[in-house]
Amino acid sequence: MTGDLSPIDKAKYAAARRAADMVQDGMRVGLGTGSTAAWMVRRLGERVQQEGLRIKGVPTSTRTAQLARELGIEVVSLDQAGWLDMTIDGADEFDGDLNLIKGGGGAHLQEKIVATASDQMIVIADAGKEVETLGAFPLPVEVIPFGWQTTRTLIQETLDTMDVLGTSAALRMNGEAPFVTDEGNHILDLHLQRIGNPRQLALVLNQVPGVVENGLFIDICDKVVIGHGDGRTELRDVNEGTIELDQTVDSGENLFSDLVD
Predicted confidence at residue 246, as pLDDT, reads: 87
Convert the pLDDT of each residue in 196-238 to its tens digit.
999 999 999 999 999 999 999 999 999 999 999 999 999 999 9
- In this prediction, residue 250 has a pLDDT band, given cuts at 50, 70 and 90, of low
Q: Are the CB atoms for 55 and 89 separated by under 8 Å?
A: no
Convert the pLDDT of each residue in 57-105 to its tens digit.
999 999 999 999 999 999 999 999 999 999 999 999 999 999 999 999 9
Q: Are strands 100-101 and 173-174 parallel, antiparallel or unpaired?
A: unpaired
d(CA 184, CA 66) in angstroms, rounded, equals 18
- Which residues lie closer than 8 Å to 222 by C-beta, 6 or more apart? 98, 120, 121, 122, 237, 238, 239
* Active site residues per annotation: 111
For helices 7-20 and 35-51, give the axis angle rounded to 10 degrees.
50
Helix locations, the chain, DSSP H = 7-20, 35-51, 62-70, 78-81, 108-116, 148-159, 198-205
SS3 content of the chain, % helix, strand, coil (to 5): 30, 25, 45
**Between 60 and 4, residue with greater pLDDT:** 60
Query: Which residues in 86-98 are b (16+ Cβ under 10 Å) and which e?
Result: bbbbbbbbbbeeb
DSSP structure string for 195-248: BS-HHHHHHHHTTSTTEEEESEE-S---EEEEE-TTSEEEEEETTTTEEEEEEP
Report the 10 Å Cβ neighbour count for 244: 13
- In this prediction, residue 4 has a pLDDT band, given cuts at 50, 70 and 90, of confident
Predicted confidence at residue 259, as pLDDT, reads: 43
- In this prediction, residue 260 has a pLDDT band, given cuts at 50, 70 and 90, of very low
Convert the pLDDT of each residue in 138-159 to its tens digit.
999 999 999 999 999 999 999 9
